[in-house]
Amino acid sequence: MSVINFSIKGVLEQRVNRTLKERGFSSRAEYVRSRLIKDLDEWEAAMRNVPTYYLKGKAADKLDREYDAAMAECSAGKTIKINSLADLMK
């Protein structure tokens, strides 16, 4: 078993403490473990419902070329840093 340590403070700590009492968790570790399990279960269930598509022929070749060109631009530093999609539209 691994041990993971992290800190919470301020409003988040208050919210966690309130939730522990309201929902009957005996410790923060129990609460965090339960939320991790719930999140992982939900993610895995969602991923089972995502269809997988495979491109073939000309469509696959075109996408491969576009990917290679994009990676070359990235390697050449021809990118911009944005914090949101709104930044991209400026």
Structure token pair of residue 62: 């075109």
pTM of the complete model: 0.53
Beta carbons within 8 Å of 55's beta carbon, 6+ residues apart: 63
Provide the pLDDT for residue 44.
Answer: 95
Q: What is the pLDDT of residue 87?
A: 84
Q: What local confidence, expressed as pLDDT, does residue 40 receive?
A: 97
pLDDT of residue 89: 84
Q: Is there a contact between 28 and 16 (Cβ–Cβ < 8 Å)?
A: yes
32-90 pLDDT per residue, tens: 999 999 999 999 999 998 888 899 999 999 999 999 999 999 999 998 888 898 888 87
